Structure 1
Amino acid sequence: MNIQQYTKEFGYNLKLAYPIILGMLGHTLIGIVDNIMVGKLGATELAAVSLGNSFIFIAISLGIGFSTAITPIVAQSDAAKNTDDIRSAFHHGLFLCTILGISLFGVIVLAKPLMNYMGQPEEVIVLARPYIDWVAFSLIPMVVYQGYKQFADGLSMTKYSMYAIIMANVVHVILNYFLIYGIWIFPKMGIIGAALGTVISRFMMLIFMHVILSKNSKLKAYFQNFSFHDIKKSMLKKIVDLGLPSAMQMFFEVALFTAAIWLSGSLGKTSQAANQIALSLASATFMFAMGLSVAAMIRVSNQKGLSDFKKLVVVAKSIFLLAIILETIFAIFFIAFHQFLPHFFLNMDNTLLALDNEEVIAIAAKLLLVAAIFQISDGIQVVVLGALRGLQDVKIPMYITFAAYWVVGFPISYYLGKFTELKATGIWIGLLAGLTVAAIFLYIRFNYLTKKLIISSENKEEIASSNS
């Protein structure tokens, strides 16, 4: 294997991926800002926001997962210079994202009564109800924004969404400050202020994305003459056939991590706190792999559009290798500082919390050792999923991810967490097992499909040359 053929692709891969990585870190930052600002109001308010966001997070995963269908269609059409298909994918994708955003808003509002069966304190539920109503409403601009973002990503214009997220974060922090605490002429609204800050910043993010893309001279043609008469069942079906399995893939993983939070909570508050610390750190490093996953989807789609399948394999494997290198560096960092990192998340000056803090640090340090290995598997599975979406292969990967996370991962997490002395560490060993199985079988699937494409392409060339 000539390693240089892969490493020479690193520069372009990173150029394509870094705006996506920063954008995804920006999405994560919106949640962190809410937690920090609301946390100053009290534990009940923070618990209410956490409970509300657990509903919203699942809905967002479905919205983002579904919208990824737009990118490979646009990227493949872009490589093939088919502007009609790009336009059609964009308009149909935006139409479907609007319907999905409204639907998710309705489902989350109707799902509020489920909180009463989740063993949460009544005062937390009372605060969470109106918070969920407002943040659920923000799903509409959020999912529609995804339609614009995936369209731009498909054209390799990945910086626009980064600019939109940076703007949204600035607006969000300012609005939160004024609306949560009642600064200047604004009323003190508490967690409803945080929810309104999220709604307004997401609408502004959508407006910003529409304006910046529609003003681009290369894209103006795609923003003209939208008509419902142009909506065709064939393109709607194509996007839904790609988007629905992609949404379910993301849902299966998010649901697994949500189940891990629930399992950790059932072991006690120190296990839950330790789980949250390890998950926060692992989520931050995972965003790098997510950015590379989108880069894999774009570049594989481009090569598919050009029918250059040998180059497609080189491009994809260069991204897989880059993800492994990055996640290995993070793994070494986690191992080296596993005893030290949990301190950042705890109030070490409060002597009353000293015993709890000591226990949380001990558990979190063990989890970070598992997380060090698990994020390599997590990184591999997500970039290979990106490459498979680029090939527009989503149904078999959906079954693979379900089996890996829920037939392998969750039962191991449940058994080791609840019935052995491993407890919280056992839960994370289950996550590691699920992610590793997903990574292995998704890679086997990618290898199988690309070999098939290369052989088919070579056979066509042989037939063409013999006929001539």
Structure 2
Amino acid sequence: MRSALSDNFLYLHKFSEMNLAVYFKEFNYNIRLAYPIILAMLGHTIVGVIDNIMVGKIGATELAAASLANSFVFIAISLGVGFSTALTPLVAHSDAENDTKTGRTIFINGLFLCTIVGISLFAIIYFSKPLLNHMGQPEEVIVLARPFLDIVAVSLIPAIIYQAYKQFADGKSRTKNSMYATIITNITNVVFNYLLIYGVWIFPEMGMLGAAYGTLISRVVMIIYMHFALSGQDLFKPFLSNISWAELKKEMLNKIVKLGIPSGLMSFFEVALFVGAVWLSGMIGTVAQAANQIALSMSSMTFMFASGLSVAAMIRVGNQRGLKDYQKLKIVARSILLMAVLIYTVFALGFILFHNYIPMLFLNNADQLNAVMNEEVIKIAGQLLLVAAIFQISDCIQVVTLGALRGIQDVNVPMIITFVSYWVIGFPISIYLGLYTDAGAKGIWIGLLAGLTTAAIFLYLRFHILSNRLIKNN
């Protein structure tokens, strides 16, 4: 009996090792493809974190105002970026088939649509400013948020146009271009933040508005760099040279829109959930809103690793779909998912160990006038980081799986899953625990945890079913 049990155990152990070895084998390529995307996305988030740190040094009220204004922009940019992700799997598919003509058509039509989306989102945000007065936010926060929002809203236009270039380059597996663009963007942002916030040299002292102008200038620089960088590379010349709007094709426009709208809505549902947390925190008070912004900044930064891996999953799954190698498709997706879980376990441990110290980076600890407020912000932010540590795993699973589903061009059912998870389950829990119990800001984040976990479970089940179906029907 003991011998039989031992033999079975050894068999299971070897079988497990063989399965893991299949996934570990993909790690090297996954990392080489994903790390420039991660650095690029991390760079974009760092722009926001730098803004928050520099604005937070002015005061907690200014930080809360920037948080409120940026919440509108985050919603808009999630729609634009989500829409643009439709280009990546289409390009990856055409790239696997070496179809230059289709690839060019995808880029030109995608660039046109992203331009329209960017302008439209700016107009919507600009004319939505009156909503600030009806959101139950502190009056002193609203006064500071209005002019900040005007400036940052304009930056949506170059930011979304840039996405057409980025998603196209990513689909061609040339992910370093966006990494270099982000490095230049960050340098530009930091320099102009410093010059305009504090009024250095010939520049006026603009306070928190200087951070808004720094963001706008850096995003204009980003799109200019990306255009000329791709235009100068032989790989992209057949796609970017002699662009003519006469090449717009109704069939391709419709194809991108059919993928882009559900993709945009999926991103919107998730980002709007976190923006909802900003608004709910503001209804509790300035301290809760500032603490929420600190925890959100850190969670957003770690989220970029999962987002980068999600794009890698989208590219690799899209390639395998083009090659019709569905067994490999499933292995690739699972290998990236395994990488994400391992990475996010480390992040979760970091949040737990340093939850009392991280918030200190965002506030001026020498500010005696606001010392009591800052101390309370640090305490609440630390509690939120503990909740964020728990949902790190759920967050990485849901976003990487979404990338894999986009790679096989499945967007409609995932859109429904994300809506139900975040807005039928997650946000109502946030409202109840945050506003109607003593949990406060912590209760809001427990609702976020519930929504992300639900999405992770059902999105993975969706991918498991579809990938098996592709293998079976091949």
Q: Does 1:422 align with 2:439?
A: yes
- Of 409, 414, 423, the residue aligned with 2:426 is 409
Q: Does 1:54 align with 2:71?
A: yes
CA-CA distance at 1:107 after TM superposition: 1.0
Q: Find the counterpart in structure 2 of residue 95 from structure 1.
A: 112
Q: Find the counterpart in structure 2 of residue 464 from structure 1.
A: none
Q: Find the counterpart in structure 2 of residue 218 from structure 1.
A: 235
- The answer to whether the Cα contact below 8 Å between 2:27 and 2:335 also exists between their aligned partners in 1 is yes
How far apart, in 2, do the equivalents of 1:264 and 1:124 lie?
13
Q: Find the counterpart in structure 1 of residue 308 from structure 2.
A: 291
CA-CA distance at 1:121 after TM superposition: 5.0
- Of 403, 412, 416, the residue aligned with 1:399 is 416
Q: Find the counterpart in structure 1 of residue 7 from structure 2.
A: none
Distance 1:194 1:282, change over 3 A: closer
Per-residue CA distance 1:329-371 (angstroms, 9 max, x = gap)? 1112222333443333344445665654554444333333322
CA-CA distance at 1:318 after TM superposition: 0.1
Taking only aligned residues, the RMSD between alpha carbons, in angstroms, comes to 2.0
Distance 1:353 1:197, change over 3 A: closer
Q: Find the counterpart in structure 2 of residue 157 from structure 1.
A: 174
Distance 1:119 1:46, change over 3 A: same
Q: Does 1:135 align with 2:148?
A: no
- Listed as ranges, the matches of 1:90-239 within 5 Å are 90-120=107-137, 124-239=141-256
TM-score by length of 2: 0.91
Per mean C-alpha deviation after superposition, the further-off stretch among 222-231 and 68-77 is 222-231
- Of 325, 329, 346, the residue aligned with 1:312 is 329
Unaligned runs of 5+ in 1: 458-468
How far apart, in 1, do the equivalents of 2:202 and 2:360 lie?
38
CA-CA distance at 1:120 after TM superposition: 4.1
How far apart, in 2, do the equivalents of 1:151 and 1:284 lie?
24
Q: Find the counterpart in structure 2 of residue 446 from structure 1.
A: 463
How far apart, in 2, do the equivalents of 1:318 and 1:133 lie?
43
Q: Find the counterpart in structure 1 of residue 263 from structure 2.
A: 246
How far apart, in 1, do the equivalents of 2:256 and 2:450 lie?
32
CA-CA distance at 1:92 after TM superposition: 0.5
- The answer to whether the Cα contact below 8 Å between 2:259 and 2:411 also exists between their aligned partners in 1 is yes
How far apart, in 1, do the equivalents of 2:443 and 2:141 lie?
29
Report how many aligned residue pairs link the two structures: 457
- The answer to whether the Cα contact below 8 Å between 2:64 and 2:286 also exists between their aligned partners in 1 is no
Per-residue CA distance 1:376-428 (angstroms, 9 max, x = gap)? 00000000000000011011000000000011111122222233333332222
Distance 1:119 1:68, change over 3 A: same
- Listed as ranges, the matches of 1:306-345 within 5 Å are 306-345=323-362
Unaligned runs of 5+ in 2: 1-15
- The answer to whether the Cα contact below 8 Å between 2:108 and 2:245 also exists between their aligned partners in 1 is no
Per mean C-alpha deviation after superposition, the further-off stretch among 100-109 and 364-373 is 364-373
The one-letter amino acid paired with 2:119 is: I
Per mean C-alpha deviation after superposition, the further-off stretch among 168-177 and 234-243 is 168-177
- The answer to whether the Cα contact below 8 Å between 2:306 and 2:396 also exists between their aligned partners in 1 is yes
CA-CA distance at 1:302 after TM superposition: 0.5
TM-score by length of 1: 0.92
SS of 1:3 mapped into structure 2? helix
CA-CA distance at 1:194 after TM superposition: 2.9
- The answer to whether the Cα contact below 8 Å between 2:429 and 2:446 also exists between their aligned partners in 1 is yes
Q: Find the counterpart in structure 2 of residue 22 from structure 1.
A: 39
SS of 1:51 mapped into structure 2? helix
Q: Find the counterpart in structure 2 of residue 465 from structure 1.
A: none
| Higher RCO (C-alpha 8 Å, min separation 6) | 2
Q: Find the counterpart in structure 1 of residue 95 from structure 2.
A: 78
CA-CA distance at 1:173 after TM superposition: 1.6
SS of 2:43 mapped into structure 1? helix
The one-letter amino acid paired with 2:32 is: K
- The answer to whether the Cα contact below 8 Å between 2:169 and 2:177 also exists between their aligned partners in 1 is yes
CA-CA distance at 1:256 after TM superposition: 0.8
How far apart, in 2, do the equivalents of 1:311 and 1:150 lie?
23
- Listed as ranges, the matches of 1:325-404 within 5 Å are 325-350=342-367, 355-404=372-421
How far apart, in 1, do the equivalents of 2:136 and 2:88 lie?
40
Per-residue CA distance 1:192-250 (angstroms, 9 max, x = gap)? 43333222221111111011101101211111232222211110011001111111111
The one-letter amino acid paired with 1:330 is: F
Q: Find the counterpart in structure 1 of residue 449 from structure 2.
A: 432
How far apart, in 1, do the equivalents of 2:337 and 2:240 lie?
35
How far apart, in 1, do the equivalents of 2:410 and 2:168 lie?
19
Per-residue CA distance 1:38-64 (angstroms, 9 max, x = gap)? 345555544443332121111111111
Distance 1:108 1:372, change over 3 A: same
The one-letter amino acid paired with 2:120 is: S
How far apart, in 2, do the equivalents of 1:257 and 1:339 lie?
22
Distance 1:225 1:361, change over 3 A: closer
